[in-house]
Chain A
Amino acid sequence: MEKNEILAKVQTIFRDVLDNEEIVLTDETTANDIEEWDSLSHIQLIVAIEKAFGVKFTSLEIKELGDVGDMCQCIERKLRK
Chain B
Amino acid sequence: MKFKDLQRNIKQSSGLPVVRMALVGDTATQFLATAIRGMGVERGYDIELFEAEYNQVERQFLDPTSELHQFHADVIVLFQSTHKLCERHSLLSVEKQTLLADERLDFVRSICENSALFGGGGKLICCNYPEIEDTVFGSYANKVPSSFTYQVRKLNYGLMELAQKYPNMFICDLAGLQNKFGRDFMFASNVYVSTEMVLSVDSLPYVASRIMDIVCAIRGQFKKCLILDLDNTVWGGVVGDDSWENIQIGHGLGIGKAFTEFQEWIKKLKNRGIIIAVCSKNDEDKAKEPFEKNPEMVLHLDDIAVFQANWETKVDNIRTIQRILNIGFDSMVFLDDNPFERNMVRENIAGITVPELPEDPGEYLEYLYSLNLFETASYSGADKDRTKQYQIEAQRVSLAKTFTNEADFLKSLDMVSKVTGFDAFNTPRVAQLSQRSNQFNLRTVRYTEADIKAIEADKVHYAAFSFTLEDKFGDNGLICVVILEKRDAATLFVDTWFMSCRVLKRGMENFTLNTITDYARANGYKRIIGEYLPTAKNKMVEEHYPKLGFTKIEGAPTAQFELNVDSYRHRECYIQIKQEE
Interface membership of chain B positions 189-217, coded 1 if the CB is closer than 8 angstroms to chain A and 0 otherwise: 11101110100111000000000000000
Bound state CA distance, A36 and B30, in angstroms?
A: 15
Check B201 against A59 for contact (C-beta < 8 Å).
no
| B498 interface residue per 8 A CB criterion | no
- Chain A residues 31-58 with CB under 8 Å of chain B are 39-40, 43-44, 46-47, 56-58
Check A43 against B4 for contact (C-beta < 8 Å).
no
Closest to B192 in A: A59
Check A63 against B194 for contact (C-beta < 8 Å).
yes
Closest to B193 in A: A59
Check A43 against B8 for contact (C-beta < 8 Å).
no
A-B contact count (CB 8 A): 35
Bound state CA distance, A65 and B519, in angstroms?
A: 75
Closest to B191 in A: A43
Contacts of A59 in B (CB 8 A): 189-190, 193-194
Bound state CA distance, A61 and B195, in angstroms?
A: 13
Contacts of B188 in A (CB 8 A): 47
Most buried by A among B31, B190, B191, B195: B190
| A62 interface residue per 8 A CB criterion | yes
Contacts of B45 in A (CB 8 A): none
- Chain B residues 15-33 with CB under 8 Å of chain A are 30-31
When A17-B4, A19-B8 are in contact, do A47 and B191 touch as well, CB less than 8 Å?
A: yes
Given A43-B201, A47-B188, 8 more A-B residue pairs with CB atoms under 8 Å apart are A16-B4, A44-B4, A46-B191, A56-B190, A58-B190, A59-B193, A62-B193, A62-B194
Contacts of B30 in A (CB 8 A): 40
When A44-B3, A44-B4, A44-B201 are in contact, do A57 and B31 touch as well, CB less than 8 Å?
A: no
Instruction: Please give the distance in Å from A78's CB to the nearest CB on chain B.
Output: 13
Interface size class of A (residues with CB under 8 A): 10 to 19
Instruction: Please give the distance in Å from B41's CB to the nearest CB on chain A.
Output: 16
A-B pairs, 8 with minimum CB distance = A59-B193, A62-B194, A59-B190, A47-B201, A63-B194, A59-B194, A62-B190, A43-B195
Bound state CA distance, A59 and B188, in angstroms?
A: 10
- Chain B residues 199-254 with CB under 8 Å of chain A are 200-202
Q: Can you spell out 6 A-B residue pairs with CB atoms less than 8 angstroms apart?
A: A43-B201, A47-B191, A57-B190, A59-B193, A61-B190, A63-B194
Contacts of A19 in B (CB 8 A): 8
Contacts of B197 in A (CB 8 A): 43
Instruction: Please give the distance in Å from A58's CB to the nearest CB on chain B.
Output: 6
Closest to B201 in A: A47
Most buried by A among B30, B31, B189, B201: B201
Instruction: Please give the distance in Å from B181's CB to the nearest CB on chain A.
Output: 16
- Chain B residues 26-69 with CB under 8 Å of chain A are 30-31
